[in-house]
Homo-oligomer: A and B are copies of this chain.
Amino acid sequence: MSQIFSVIMAGGVGTRFWPRSRERSPKQFLEILGGGTMIENTLSRLRPLVDEKHAFVVTNRVQAEMVRRLVPWLQPENVLAEPLGRNTAACIGLAAHWIHRVDPDGLMLVSPADHIVQNNDEFLRILRLALRVAGEKDALVTIGIKPTHPETGYGYIQSAEEEIDRNEYRPEGVFRVKTFAEKPNLETAEKFLQSGDFLWNSGIFVWKAKVILREIELHLPDLHQQLDDIRKSIGSPTYEQTLEHAYRIIRSISIDYGIMEKAGNVYVVKGDFGWSDVGSWDEVVRLSPKDGDGNSVKGRAILFDSKNNFVDSGGKIVATIGVDDLIVIASDDAVLVCRKGKSQDVKEVVDFIRRKQMNDYL
């Protein structure tokens, strides 16, 4: 019987939530929506499925210490610190080796650290289904989210039509994957939504460690080689040095592009559990409760003659007068005032700060 492991990917720097998220306090460490940090919530969500000794986090060196402090029940050695960010293929491959070492038949639940789920029971039901498919079929299983609107900020997964493999045994809601699609433009996103067979790519994956390692060997032989060097050094005094050396030459490539789009045995489980990647302030606004004037306030605010605003006052007090449809975020050293619907341009602001080398504000 395979044991179940979780792998939480938590290396992001979170420029999209400037000025709340910063290089040293990325999104997964924040209570963007209140009620605990996103990484704590992500780990907690999986606890009914995953023994605490089997919970892994992959992050960078700076954040590794933050994770260990923030989530004291994690095994310290299960917080894996990458010396450099090399995208998801390397991150997942590294974790797969650690897991394979504990249980050669172990199943991995891979999830980003900074998503939210509103219906946790349904989420767990879907994961159990995915674990079953991954376990029984030695398959690569992704979780696809039933889209609710023509979102241009997500990648999409096209499920194969029922007819193609109707003779195959599959539980309800499980499909073969026909193709992965990059983030579409609005027109394409609308077509995707209408088609009914395109799902949002949640970035949540389920598979056996040995299966994904086999696929890496097949499709990303260089990465396989570099990970194999690392594998041999796990538990030895040369581990850190080997890791550093390997990561310096590992190519940055996503698991979607490097493996999922090429592998054969790929399934998608269709889920509908109030998922969001909380990718922008506008998404936070969408997810936040509103008062009678359409305002959402986190912290302390005085909204005078103001409607449909979102305010996160960050320990200060924010007053608005005569303004509508604004997102106002205050932090210790910075303030953002953004028209609703424009929060994707937060990255332009962060890019500007970076270009001007105003590094204190990053």
Q: Across the interface, name the chain B residue whose C-beta is closest to A340.
A: B322
Given A304-B345, A342-B305 in contact, is the A334-B317 Cβ separation under 8 Å?
A: yes
User: Quick one: which of A1-58 are within 8 Å of B by CB?
Assistant: 18-19
Question: Do A337 and B349 contact each other (CB < 8 Å), given the known contacts A305-B342, A342-B305?
Answer: no
A339 to chain B minimum Cβ distance, whole angstroms, is 4
- What residues of chain B lie closer than 8 Å to A322, measured between beta carbons? 338-339, 341-342, 345
Give the contacting residue for A319; candidates B305, B326, B336; CB below 8 A: B336
Residue A84 at the B interface, CB < 8 A? no
Q: Scoring A residues 295 to 328 as 1 if CB is less than 8 Å from chain B, else 0, what string do you get? A: 0000010101100000001001111111100101
A249 within 8 A of B: no
The yes or no answer to A164 lying at the interface (CB within 8 A) is: no
Q: Is the CB of A349 within 8 A of B333?
A: no
Q: How far is the CB of A173 from chain B (nearest CB, A)?
A: 40
Q: Is A218 an interface residue (CB 8 A)?
A: no
Residues on the B chain within 8 Å of A304, using CB: 345, 348-349, 352
B-side contacts of A318, CB under 8 Å: 334-337
The answer to whether A337 and B348 touch (CB under 8 A), given A353-B302, A361-B317, is no
Bin chain A's interface residue count. Answer: 35 or more
Cβ proximity bits A182-218 to B, threshold 8 Å, 1 near / 0 not = 0000000000000000000000000000000000000
Q: A319-B338, A322-B338 are in contact. List 9 more A-B contacts (CB 8 A).
A: A300-B358, A316-B334, A317-B353, A319-B336, A321-B339, A321-B343, A321-B349, A322-B345, A326-B337
Residues of chain A at the chain B interface (Cβ within 8 Å): 18-19, 300, 302, 304-305, 313, 316-323, 326, 328, 330, 332-339, 341-343, 345-346, 348-349, 352-353, 358, 361
Write the chain B residue with the least CB distance to A301.
B335
Given the interface pairs A19-B319, A305-B345, the reply to whether A313 lies near B335 with Cβ below 8 Å is: yes
CB distance A302 to B352 under 8 Å? Answer: yes
A302-B352, A323-B326, A349-B321 known; A316 vs B338 contact (CB < 8 Å): no
Nearest 5 interchain pairs by C-beta: A322-B339, A322-B342, A321-B338, A319-B349, A318-B335
Q: With a CB–CB cut-off of 8 A, which chain B residues contact A346?
A: 319, 321
Q: What are some 15 contacts across the A-B interface (CB < 8 A)? A: A19-B319, A302-B352, A304-B349, A305-B345, A316-B333, A317-B335, A317-B358, A318-B335, A319-B334, A319-B338, A321-B338, A323-B337, A326-B337, A328-B337, A337-B337
